[in-house]
């Protein structure tokens, strides 16, 4: 079956190459009995892929069951999956079959597989390796022929490092991996999905379908969508029900988008449009900017050392240190040839450091102005750093660092 036909049959919307690749892998692996591990963020539509694999396989006329491992209490998960004997635990008034016995010959989809307790993981590993299991409270071995497809929205490798997931089970489940891309990586599909959901809700609630202005479309496709397709669908339904105006502007759309991590672009709309505190991305940019400032300070320090000390003295005092400092700084600026780092070759280093002279002098004049501004702000607010930092447009932490750096009393 062609990929486009699979999309139509299972209601998959989108033309993103990564999505098509995931569908293609599911189509190819369907004819085998290999276990499949589907990974992707919550809300990306992972639950559709086990159905694709099952319905395109030779097991399509057998049973298919989806089990949410995270929704079953730890005390009963073994009984749910493998069954139990009468009297095996309190409340076990009669024997019952588990999913692995009921679905013999078919396919079982274990969603949120990383939530399984370690004891259950041992049982699951045995089923995958031998096709055998024991009911809870029984010593009789039962054979089963079940194709296992698992899914998770967590990084299993990190769970393995924390001791929460067995490494051997991970390798056994991960015979064929399928990665589902997040919605923010499928920008061209976002508006398509919105229109599909808008039309569905228009039909459901018997009202005209929503439409977006150009600015609203831009906001829509650049929003981060941490909840992925599920979040987009929910917001589309909210707007369809609440808004009487069918043409949605970006000002209207903003009201329905959570304030955290609004967009995936550094700058898109003014701060007045969003009216929220700095996001994690903004803070990261600030940290990187401060790091750049620190690197420039280090370069200036090296320049000053080169002016106050002769090269021979530096070479004799600590050749390893001067080479390491210069190598680290030059790597940051991408303008240093590592071939000059041969022992004793300091002429090249000294010459290139000296080339920073004019820029260093300019930086020093800016530094003097910065010190003057800090002193005036502190004097204006009687030494209250919080108010001075706010007036200067920097954080209190940055102000404290600069006071210490410039030795301002």
pLDDT digits (tens, 9 = 90+) for 124-147: 999 999 999 999 999 999 999 999
Q: Is the pLDDT of residue 305 over 70?
A: no
Residues linked to residue 212 through DSSP beta bridges, in sequence order: 248
Q: Give whichever of 192-201, 253-262, 320-329 has the largest mean pLDDT.
A: 192-201
Q: Is the pLDDT of residue 304 over 70?
A: no
- Please give the residue that has the higher pLDDT: either 336 or 10: 10
Q: What is the pLDDT of residue 313?
A: 47
Residues linked to residue 263 through DSSP beta bridges, in sequence order: 223
Q: How far is CA 265 from CA 14, 87, 268, in A?
A: 22, 60, 6
What's the average model confidence in pLDDT over 9-31?
A: 96
Residues linked to residue 134 through DSSP beta bridges, in sequence order: 141
Percent of all residues in the chain with a pLDDT value above 70, rounded to a whole number:
74
- Please give the residue that has the higher pLDDT: either 408 or 178: 178
Structure tokens of 182?
Answer: 């997040």
- Please give the residue that has the higher pLDDT: either 315 or 147: 147
Q: Is the pLDDT of residue 275 over 60?
A: no
Q: What is the pLDDT of residue 241?
A: 95
- Give me the chain's average pLDDT, please: 82
Nearest Cα residue to 215 out of 251, 173, 167:
251
Q: Is the pLDDT of residue 266 over 70?
A: no
- Please give the residue that has the higher pLDDT: either 162 or 358: 162
Which tens digit of pLDDT belongs to each residue from 344-399?
Answer: 444 555 555 455 554 545 555 667 778 888 888 888 888 888 888 888 888 888 88
- Please give the residue that has the higher pLDDT: either 301 or 239: 239
- Cβ contact 326:353 at 8 Å: yes
In order, the DSSP letters of 227-271 are: THHHHHHHHHHHHHHH-S-SEE-HHHHHHHS-STT-BSSS-SS-H
Query: Which of these ranges, 79-83, 89-93, 321-325, 385-389, has the smallest mean pLDDT?
Result: 321-325
- Cβ contact 186:15 at 8 Å: no
- Please give the residue that has the higher pLDDT: either 101 or 312: 101
Spell out the domain ranges in the chain: 3-181, 184-275, 282-406
In order, the DSSP letters of 72-128 are: S-TTTHHHHHH-B-TTSSTT--S-B--HHHHTTTSEEEEETGGGS-HHHHHHHHHHH
Q: Is the dihedral of CA 380, 382, 384, 387 positive or negative?
A: negative
CATH 2.60.40.730 assigned to 184-275: no
What helix, strand, coil percent values describe the chain, rounded to 5?
55, 10, 35
Q: What is the pLDDT of residue 355?
A: 55
If 0-12 CB within 10 Å is exposed, 13-18 middle and 19+ buried, where does residue 102 land? middle
CATH superfamily of 3-181: P-loop containing nucleotide triphosphate hydrolases (3.40.50.300)
In order, the DSSP letters of 125-186 are: HHHHHHSEEE-BT---EEE---EEEEEESS-HHHHHHTTSS-HHHHHHHTTEEEEPPPGGG-
What's the average model confidence in pLDDT over 42-54?
A: 97
Cα distance between residue 105 and residue 62, in whole Å = 6
The pairing of beta strand 147-152 with beta strand 107-111: parallel
In order, the DSSP letters of 337-377 are: -GGG-STT--HHHHHHHHTTHHHHHHHHHHHHHHHHHHHHH
Nearest Cα residue to 354 out of 404, 285, 306, 296:
306
What's the average model confidence in pLDDT over 31-35?
A: 96
């Amino acid at each position: 079956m062609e990929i486009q036909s699979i999309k139509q049959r299972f209601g998959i919307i989108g033309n993103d190459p990564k999505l098509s690749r995931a569908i293609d892998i599911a189509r190819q692996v369907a004819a085998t009995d290999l276990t499949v591990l589907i990974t992707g963020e919550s809300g990306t539509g992972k639950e559709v892929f086990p159905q694709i694999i099952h319905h395109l396989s030779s097991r399509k006329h057998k049973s298919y069951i989806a089990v949410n491992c995270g929704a079953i209490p730890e005390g009963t998960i073994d009984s749910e999956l493998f069954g139990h004997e009468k009297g095996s635990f309190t409340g076990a008034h009669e024997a019952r079959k588990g999913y692995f016995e009921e679905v013999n010959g078919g396919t079982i989809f274990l969603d949120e597989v990383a939530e399984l307790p370690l004891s259950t993981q041992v049982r699951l590993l045995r089923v995958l390796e031998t096709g055998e299991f024991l009911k809870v409270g029984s010593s009789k071995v039962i054979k089963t022929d079940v194709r296992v497809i698992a899914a998770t929205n967590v990084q299993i490798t990190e769970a393995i490092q924390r001791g929460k997931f067995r490494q051997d089970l991970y390798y056994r489940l991960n015979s064929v991996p399928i990665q589902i891309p997040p919605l923010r990586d499928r920008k061209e599909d976002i508006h398509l999905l919105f229109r599909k959901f808008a039309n569905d809700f228009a039909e459901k609630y018997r009202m005209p379908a929503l439409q977006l202005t150009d600015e609203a479309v831009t906001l829509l496709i650049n929003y981060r969508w941490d909840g992925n397709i599920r979040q987009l669908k929910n917001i589309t339904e909210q707007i369809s029900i609440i808004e009487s105006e069918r043409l949605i502007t970006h000002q209207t759309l903003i009201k329905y988008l959570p304030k955290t991590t609004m967009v995936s672009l550094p700058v898109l709309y003014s701060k007045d449009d969003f009216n929220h505190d700095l996001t994690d991305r903004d803070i990261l940019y600030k940290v990187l900017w401060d790091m750049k400032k620190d690197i420039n300070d280090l370069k200036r320090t090296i320049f000053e050392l080169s002016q106050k000390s002769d090269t021979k003295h530096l070479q004799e005092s600590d050749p390893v240190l001067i080479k390491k400092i210069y190598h680290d700084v030059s790597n940051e600026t991408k303008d240093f040839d590592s071939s000059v780092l041969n022992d004793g070759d300091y002429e090249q280093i000294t010459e290139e450091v000296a080339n920073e002279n004019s820029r260093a002098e300019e930086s020093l004049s800016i530094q003097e102005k910065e010190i003057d501004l800090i002193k005036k702000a502190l004097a204006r607010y009687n030494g209250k750093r919080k108010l001075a930092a706010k007036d200067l447009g920097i954080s209190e932490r940055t102000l404290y660092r600069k006071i210490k750096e410039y030795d301002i009393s």
